[in-house]
Chains A and B, each alone.
Chain A
Amino acid sequence: MASVLIVEGSIGEILESITVAKLVGGEPVVLAYGSAAKSGDLGSIGARVYKLDAIHPDPIFNAVKKLYEEIKPIVVVGHGSKNNRDVLSRLAGLYDLPMGTDITKVVEASDSYVVYERGFLSERAVAQEKVPLPAVLLVNAKVFEPASPAGASEVVELPVEEGQVKLVGRLEKQLSGINLEEAEIIVGVGRGFKKKEDLKLAFELAELLGAQVGATRPIAADYKWLPEDAWIGISGKRVAPKLYIAVGISGAPQHMAGVNNAKIIVAVNKDKSAPIFKFADYGVVADLYQFLPVLIKKLKERKGQ
């Protein structure tokens, strides 16, 4: 049976990628690095596992290359994390392999090709592409059901083989530690908020609803009014709450791509022609500075009843 090489830095991602391996009909062989290499669950996923104690790309690339040459997989699959995109684009360049990225759906799979879908034109469009095998496939999170752990695995530790790029330091990011991916309700904030202090309106609304607060790129990455792990969008997090309340958000596709999977989307924006209203189930055309206090008051009354 043909092999599928799975390359991942987290254990949850390994289980989703095993599902992809089954879709293309190959036997999964796993390279686990970073936190995945340290996971206690590694021994029970029911696949051949190689673990590597490394967090920066050169040693991961060297291990991937070695395994690729050894097992000659029909597909190399992983999630689109920064480390994966780094090392697997190098692998694709080295062997001129086609590489599909940010895959949201596998349309068709056989032992000689795969057809998949992905976002195109900053997620305003969908591209359906066909690649011959062998190929590299990077999948989006939460698109594929995680496989259930299928029994004992043989775990082999690989030696760390450094390259020319050396890791000489590590800086921590200011993070909130909230897990937006798991949140049931999210209040999203955008540039309609004029200053950082005003975000307290959003936090008050979130507290009443038991929600978390997320943000667009400018708020989280440029102005740094919120920690970076609050950033929702193509380059930030992709979330799937049952309710997303977008406040002062214009509705740029790069942001909306991150909330496509929300069950219900509410938009509050004072500009009635803002694109966000096309992406929303319920829209309120009003100044957030006037509307949020009223909504908060009404929600408090409802709670008090």
Chain B
Amino acid sequence: MGDIVVLVKPALNPDMVRTKPDGSIDIDAIPLKLDDIDANALELAKQLKSALGGKVVAVLLHKWGSPARRNRDLRMVTQEALARGADEAILVSDEKLADGDQIVTSQVLAEVIKKYVPEYSLVLVAEASIDQTTGQIAGRIAAKLGVPFISYARKVEVADGKVKVERDVEDHIQVLEAPLPAVISVTQEINEPRPPTLIQIRRAAKKPQKKLTASDLGITPQPKKEVVQYRILTVTRKQIIIEGDTLEEIAEKLIQALEKEGVI
């Protein structure tokens, strides 16, 4: 018996990258969205909820720049997490926690879980985020909570106080078993999240939401990682479109070009 925590990241949307004239990334101009694989984690939580008998709590931390400029995005991501099956949401947003590194993020999230969801039996985390893609938050939190950790889950079952997981390794699948509570990182292949229905979206507005700051958690952030720069990736390909009156002509020209390059 216990609650399921799903960590949800308001992530920078990589499909809407904005740059400054000097080629550096304009972080404040990129909209936030609910991170892709977080939707898979929420879907899994919905499936496991009845077996564990508790509620699903989405825990969000705002990390990109001043939260004051991000109110609308943060509200939307929180609403979406609730519409996708969370029963309540806890959002941590604080100027002091903005632009922290993974040390700060994991300290904050572990502290929220310990203080506000102490009866948890599972913590579900995406294998990686779409903006930073470091894939290290789940392991860090497991270490801080001092509970078993299973990564890259493709299938999760709970019964008799235990969790059984099919874990994806590069060339095979490991079947692992651990006592609860546990931290699990999930892959995108674990399920196909259904988009929330209108009714679910409407109900989401009425679900409980809590907002926390660094001082609620007693945390003074001390990040160690320093960002030197973020810059747009420049592509240096030739970008030659091969044209011709017929497909035969185009194929000929392509073959000639590749022969000239010495690659066929």
Contact = CB atoms under 8 A, between A and B. Distances in A.
B139 A92 contact: yes
A127 B136 contact: no
A99 to B, nearest CB: 5
B166 A265 contact: no
Interface string B73-103: 0000000000000000000000000000111
B111 interface: no
Interface centre among B131, B230, B240, B263 (most CB of A within 10 A): B263
B113 to A, nearest CB: 13
A284 B171 contact: no
Contact of A125 (B233, B239, B254): B233
A156 interface: no
Interface in A52-111: 55-58, 80-83, 85-94, 96-102
B111 to A, nearest CB: 13
A56 B252 CA distance: 52
Contact of A101 (B134, B166, B168): B134
B6 interface: no
Contacts of B174: 55-56, 167, 169-170
Contacts of B250: 284, 286, 291, 294
B257 A282 contact: yes
A214 to B, nearest CB: 15
A242 B232 contact: no
Contact of B264 (A57, A101, A185, A291): A185
B237 A125 contact: no
B144 to A, nearest CB: 5
B251 A298 contact: yes
A264 to B, nearest CB: 5
A295 B254 contact: yes
Main secondary structure of the interface of A (DSSP, over half): mixed
B177 A168 contact: yes
Contact of B263 (A123, A242, A272): A242
B160 interface: no
B258 A266 contact: yes
Nearest first, the 4 A-B pairs at minimum CB distance are: A89-B139, A93-B140, A93-B143, A169-B175
A122 interface: yes
Interface residues of A, number: 86
B227 A127 contact: yes
Interface in B206-264: 224-233, 235, 237-242, 247-248, 250-252, 254-255, 257-258, 261, 263-264
A298 B151 contact: no
Nearest to B162: A166
A155 interface: no
B173 A168 contact: no
A199 interface: no
A280 B151 CA distance: 35
A82 B168 contact: yes
Contacts of B178: 164-166
Contacts of A128: 227-231
Given A126-B230, A242-B263, A120 B25 contact: yes
Interface stretch (A15-23, A42-50, A129-137, A145-153): A129-137
B118 interface: no
A278 B224 contact: no
A234 interface: yes
Nearest to A287: B247
6 contacts: A98-B224, A166-B178, A168-B176, A171-B172, A243-B261, A294-B251
A280 B241 CA distance: 9
B22 interface: no
Contact of A280 (B139, B230, B239): B239
B261 to A, nearest CB: 5
Contacts of B242: 282-284
Given A124-B232, A164-B178, A175-B171, A129 B133 contact: no
A87 B149 CA distance: 9
Contacts of B173: 170-173
Given A56-B176, A175-B171, A99 B25 contact: no
Contact of A165 (B172, B176, B228, B255): B176
B248 A294 contact: yes
B135 A85 contact: yes
Contact of A171 (B175, B226, B230, B264): B175
A243 B263 contact: yes
A224 to B, nearest CB: 10
B161 interface: no
A164 B178 CA distance: 6
Given A90-B142, A127-B229, A278-B235, 19 more contacts: A58-B148, A85-B135, A86-B152, A93-B143, A99-B136, A102-B134, A124-B232, A129-B228, A131-B224, A165-B176, A173-B172, A185-B264, A229-B171, A279-B235, A280-B239, A281-B239, A281-B261, A283-B242, A302-B255
